[in-house]
Structures are given as C-alpha cells and as structure tokens.
Structure 1
Amino acid sequence: MTVTTVFITRHGQTEWNVQNRMQGHLDSPLTPLGEQQAQWLNAGLQKEPLDIVYSSSSPRAFRTAEIIRGERDIPLTACDEFKEIGMGVWEGCDSGDIEARDPVQHFNFWKDPEEFRVEGSESFAGVQKRALDKLQEIVAAHEGQRILIVTHTVVIKVLMAYFEQRAMEKLWDLPYIYPTCLCRVDFTDGMAEILLHGDTSHYVRSTEDELFD
C-alpha cells in the first residue's frame, strides 16, 4: 500500500489583504505578519520529510513557499494552474466598493459561486478543473512522496470541496482559510482522505487579533 501525502496551504497575509482589496491574478507583497505566518509553518513542518514544493506562480505565494521551504534542499516549482481565481475587472478594487456597484455579482461570489461572472473573470468550476487536473498530475508523478502546494483561498476551497464532495453553494462554509493554514490530503490507491483542513496549530501567538489582523 503506497500513500502519497499532499499538504496544501495559502500564502501569508498581503498588503491588499489588509486593505480589503481583491487580488486574483494581480499581486501585492507579503506584510511582515505574512512573512511571520510563513515562518510559523516552516517551523511547524520541520518534522515532515517533504520531497518537493509546488507553488502558484503569483509572487505572494512563491515568496511564501520559499520561506516555508527554508533550508531544505528540495525543488520548488511555480505553476500557473495554482494561481488564484481570475477576478477580471474586480482585481485591485476595494471589496466594499465592489459590493456597492455590483451587488448581484458580489452576492454570487460569496453565496452562489456557480453564478459568479464578471468581465474578464474565471468561473469557480474552471478554477477547480485547472487546479485539480494539476494536483492529480503531481500525485501521479510523485507516488509515495510528501508534497507541499502553496496557493490561494479559492483554489484551496474548490480542491477541498472536491475531496469532501461539498456542493459549490456550500463552498464558503467553515473552515475559514487563514493565511498559511494547513490542509493535508493522503492518497492511497487512488482514494483521498482528508487529515487536516484549515489547521492553524502551528501559529505561535495566542489571540485572534494578533493572529489574523
């Protein structure tokens, strides 16, 4: 029996996260807290013998992956397939402004993802397909190994929804995907088992304001 372990995490907090701006395929740098969150996961994974790291090609995710990898002498590969959902004309915009000018699609994004469409955007189903296809390719190529994937909130949500068989309308139900929270999915003879989902036990500070501001 061969077990392939996949750890999946989100990038650390970014400047646009703090400003409540939509990022999508655009990017903003990690904040000092975001870099610290990546360091916490680096420490939390020290006892895990990782074989390879894959990251979204977005700089915020790739920088997070570099910090988590740390001194490990293992490959780090950037993949466009793990980029955040493309948000088209929303990218770089304040979330409150979006809700005010496009309340229907703002509602769809958070409450009815299958109906989400704005100019230049991807669909949630499209993101799920591209990310899942790449994940399955990676699992097949690294049978029996331990893999880390660094990506984004929507990508994690749609991947975990697939493994949970969660309906898309329930996509945003808990757990919340905090920066550098950890998911773990083990694949045994083609069967997936979720062992962690949104875990933040590696976080060092103790109050919610400190952890998640």
Structure 2
Amino acid sequence: MIRIILLRHGETTWNIEGRYQGQEDTPLSPRGLEQGKKAALALKDVPIDRAISSPLFRSYETCRMAADYHGLTVEKDSRITEISHGKWEGIHADEIEARYPTEFHLWHTHPEQVQMPEGENLEDVRKRCREAFDEYAEKYDGETILVAAHDAVNKAIICDLLGLDMSHFWQIKQDNCCINVLECDKGIWRIVSLNNTAHLGYLVSGIEQKGL
C-alpha cells in the first residue's frame, strides 16, 4: 500500500487579489508562509519517506518546509504543475468574466467543457496527474509520500481517483495549505482525509477564492 499526503500550497498574494495564477510562478504571501510552517509542524512526527512537489515556487516552498523536518530533498514533478489558464493568467476574476462571459460562466457550471484560451482543459490536467499518481503507487509501494500541488490539480486527481468525472470538479474544496490523505492498496484508491485545515486553527475556512 502507498499513502500519499497531498497538500495544497499556502496562500499567495494573487489568491488574495482573486487573480488567476495557473502556471505563473507566484510567491507565498506572509500568511501563506505561516500556513506552510503550521502544516510542516503538523506533519513533523508523521513518518514520511519521500517528498514530491510541483516545480512552481508556491508549492515547492510549502513542501520544503515540511520535508526539512524529515531530512528529505524535495523532488520536482512537472506533471503536477497547476492547470495552464493560458490568456487568463495574471488577470482578476472580474475582468475575465467581463472579457469571456460565456467561458467564465461555463467554467463555474460545466468546467469539464472548458478549454482555456491558449491553455489546458481539465482532461489535460487529469491525464498527466493520474499518470504521476499511478507511477507513485507502483514505484513507492509501502511508502508514505508527501506531495505538494495546487487547487485544480488536487481537485482533478481526487475526482479521478474516486471515479468521478471532471463535471464534479467544484464539489471538491481545497483550502490553502489543506492536508489530504490518500491510500492505494492493490490498485484501489480511497480518501482517508479531505481538505483538513485543523492545523491552521479552523475546521472550516469560509474562504471562497475567485482565482485558482
């Protein structure tokens, strides 16, 4: 059996502003750094054999803070990089809604039907993330792996591992620096913990971010 501790990165300034980040390499906000430290402390005494992160700094730094307690070097895997929003990246959600009203409405109602302009769709994300997770399950059987990724990545892979298509994308919530625990035994995946934020001092954040 493999156990994957799946993190979402800490808060960024663009999360606060409601800008779509996608594959833009944005830094953690001061609050995001504190969230990362709290997640690291929460995982300090949990046996972890390996640490893997998206190459983007916000996820890598979140992962590194936890990995340091275990003397682990963080490996980068581009397959778990955030969705490419294409022309939407760097733009505030309200401005995207004004420029692309049809696509923006569809993104929040039928996300599986949206092709980001000059970017990806959720099927692109699902395929590359599932390839990574299947590889982890095969290569690291018997280990506990820390994986740090992103909102859309986490939602897409959780849906897929549960056998849900991408139309269920918005039914999965991922707060900044939440902890999820996934297990795979003999090819069967299950969710042990989802969107846990107790280490941050609250059970429910109440935060609804405008941008991913």
TM-score by length of 1: 0.92
1:209 to 1:130, Cα distance in 2 relative to 1, 3 A: closer
Kept in 2, the 8 Å contact 1:182–1:199? The answer is: yes
Aligned to 1:158: 156
Compute the displacement of 1:192 (Å): 1.0
Equivalences for 1:79-158 in 2 at 5 Å?
79-158=77-156
- Number of equivalent positions: 208
Identity, % of aligned positions = 25
- Aligned: 1:199 with 2:196: yes
1:68 Cα deviation from its structure 2 partner: 1.9
Q: Which has the higher mean CA deviation after the structures are superposed, 125-134 or 163-172?
A: 163-172
1:90-128: per-residue Cα shift (whole Å, max 9, x none)? 010011100111111111222111211232110101100
Unmatched runs of 5 consecutive residues or more in structure 1: none
The code of the aligned residue for 2:66 comes to: I
Q: 1:145/1:13 Cα in 2 relative to 1: closer, same or farther (>3 Å)?
A: same
RMSD: 1.8
Structure 1 stretch displaced more, 129-138 or 114-123: 114-123
Give the aligned partner of residue 183 of structure 1: 180
Residue 131 of structure 1 aligns to a residue in which SS? helix
Paired residue secondary structure (1:43): helix
Deviations, residues 78-101 of structure 1 (Å, cap 9, x unaligned): 111111000000010011100111
TM-superposed CA distance for 1:55, in Å, is 0.3
5+ residue gaps, structure 2:
none
In the alignment, the residues of structure 2 paired with residue 62 and residue 39 of structure 1 have an alpha-carbon distance, to the nearest angstrom, of 13
- CA displacement 1:60-81 (0-9 Å, x = unmatched): 1111111122332123101111
Contact 2:67/2:73 (CA < 8 Å) preserved in 1?
no
Alignment pair present for 1:22 and 2:20: yes
Structure 2 letter corresponding to 1:72:
H
